[in-house]
Amino acid sequence: MNQTTAETLGSTGQISTRLIELLRAGSVDEAAALYSRLSEDIGYLLVQKHARDAGLNRRMAKMFYLAKDYAKAALVFEEAGEYDKAAKLYVRADDYGMAAEMFAKVEDFANAALMYEKNGNYATAAELYQQVGDLVRAAANFEKAVNHFRAGKMYAELGKDDKAVELLQQVRAEDPNYLEAVRVTAEILGRKGHAPVAVMKLQSLLTERGLDEDGLDAALTLARLALSAGDRELARQWLQRILEIRFPYKDAAELLAAIDDPAVSIEAAPAEIEIIEEAELVEEDAPVVALEADFETIRDAPLFQELNLQELKKFWTLVMPLDFRDGEIIIEQNEPGTGLYIISSGRVRVSRVDEETEQTLAELGAGAHLGEMSLLDDAPTSARVTALGDVTAFLMPKDAFQQLIASDDRLARKIYQAFAATLMERLRDTNAQFRSWKQKKETEMADLFGIRE
C-alpha cells in the first residue's frame, strides 16, 4: 500500500481504533484484510495495549494469523500465558529461539531442544536432549558445540567407540576433563582388545601428574586393564596406591584381595573387564610381550626410522589403534583428512574414483603409512583407501600431531624431513610411470605409422 492510500485511511491512531472496532464487532476477516494492507507495522502497539484483554486477545491473535503475521499472533498468546500456542506460532514465524523458550516454559523439552538446535544454540540443545533421554542427538549437539569431552563420553555410552575416541583425543591437556577423557579412551581400547596400549597411556599420564583424589577412578581403570592384560604386579601396585589415599574405594580392596589371596577367585573382578583364566596368566616376573608386538609397527615404520626411542614413545602415546573389516573405507576421496594412518596388519587398496569408475593405484601392507598430507594442509584427500580383508591400523589424529610437533622442535624437523623424503620417492615413481607410458605410446606410433614422436 503506497503513502497516498495510507494517508487516506488515516493516522496510526485512527487505524488502530478502526481495527479494534472491527475486532470487537467480530469482523476478524475484515480486520485482517485491513491490517495486512498497512504500510506501517502497528502490531506491537496493538499487542501492548490490548493483548491482555480477555474479550479481545483471541480475535486479535486470529487477525494476526489470517494476515500471516505469525510472530505477533505468537506474542499475543505469550502475553496471555498460553505458551504452548505461542511456541507453535513462533515456529511458523521461523523464530526458533523464542519457540524454544515457549516450549521450555510448558516443559516440552524435546521440542525445546529441537528449536534450540535449529537456532544454533547447540550446547543448550544438547543438555535438553540428554534430559529427555535422546542421547544420540545430545552427543551430536555437544559435538556441534565443540564440547569434545561430553560428546565423546556420550558416544562411548552409546557404543560408538571409534567416534568417541576421535573426539576424546581432541580434549586438550589443559582441559579439566582431560584425565577423564584419557580414562574413557583407555576403557574403549580395553574393550577393543588393546589393553596393553590402554595401560601404557594411563600409566604415562598418572605417573606424570601424580596420583591424588581426582585420579582415583583413572588409577582403578588402569589396575583393571593391567589385570585383564595379565600384569598382576602392575595392578597390585596401583590398587595399593589407591587404598593408601582412600580406604575403602569402590571395589579396589576386593580386586587386591583377588590378586593376593589364592583362596579368592580372580573372577571377583568387575564383569565388564575381561579377566583371563588363572592358568593363562603370565608369571609376575615375566614381561608382557603384547605391547612390544604392537609397538614394533611404529618402531619399524620407514617413516620413523630417524626417531629415537624416546621420540617414538611420544608418538606412540598419541596414536589410536583402529580395526577395519573387509571392504570398509578407511579414507574417503575428496573428504577432509583426519590424520596419519599406519597399517599394523592386513592389506589395503589405494584407488582413484572418477565419476563411476575406480582405478586401483596401489596395494599396501603392514608398515605402510597413508594420509600424511592431511597433517600438512586442509586440502581434501586425493584417493580412497579400502580394507582388503581385516585390517588393523594406528591413527595419529591431526590435532594430536600438531600439539606434538609444537612441543618438540627436533621431533618436528625429523618428521617433516621424513615427509619430504616420502613425497620425493612418490614423485620419482610417478615420473618413472610417465616415462614408461611415453615409451609405450612411441612404440605404438612406430608400429602404426613407421615414425616416432
Side chain identity, residue 429 = D
pLDDT, tens digit, for every residue of 307-363?
Answer: 776 777 777 778 888 889 999 999 988 888 888 899 988 999 999 888 778 888 888
169 to 68, 166, 187: CA distances (angstroms): 49, 5, 13
Report for 1-5, 11-15, 57-61: range of highest mean pLDDT: 57-61
pLDDT, tens digit, for every residue of 401-444?
Answer: 888 888 888 778 888 787 777 767 766 765 666 666 667 666 66
So where are the chain's domains?
Answer: 1-80, 177-280, 294-409
pLDDT, tens digit, for every residue of 129-160?
Answer: 999 999 999 999 999 999 999 999 999 999 89
What is the number of residues in the chain? Answer: 453
Dist CA 266 CA 137 (whole Å)? 40
Fold of 177-280: 1.25.40
For residue 309, give the C-alpha cell: 626411542
Q: Average pLDDT of 380-406?
A: 87
Report for 11-25, 137-151, 383-397: range of highest mean pLDDT: 137-151
Dist CA 165 CA 182 (whole Å)? 9
pLDDT, tens digit, for every residue of 306-318?
Answer: 777 677 777 777 8
**What contacts 64, CB < 8 A, 6 or more positions away?**
32, 35, 43, 70, 72, 73, 76
Model's pTM, two decimal places?
0.58
pLDDT, tens digit, for every residue of 170-179?
Answer: 999 899 999 9
**What contacts 186, CB < 8 A, 6 or more positions away?**
198, 199, 201, 202, 218, 221, 222, 225
Query: Lowest-confidence range among 161-170, 177-186, 437-446?
Result: 437-446
**CATH architecture of the domain with range 294-409:** Sandwich (2.60)
Q: Average pLDDT of 35-53?
A: 80
Q: What is the pLDDT of residue 290?
A: 33
281 has a pLDDT exceeding 60: no
DSSP 228-297: HTT-HHHHHHHHHHHHHHSSS-TTHHHHHHHHH-TTS-GGGS-TTS----GGGSPPTTS---HHHHHHHH
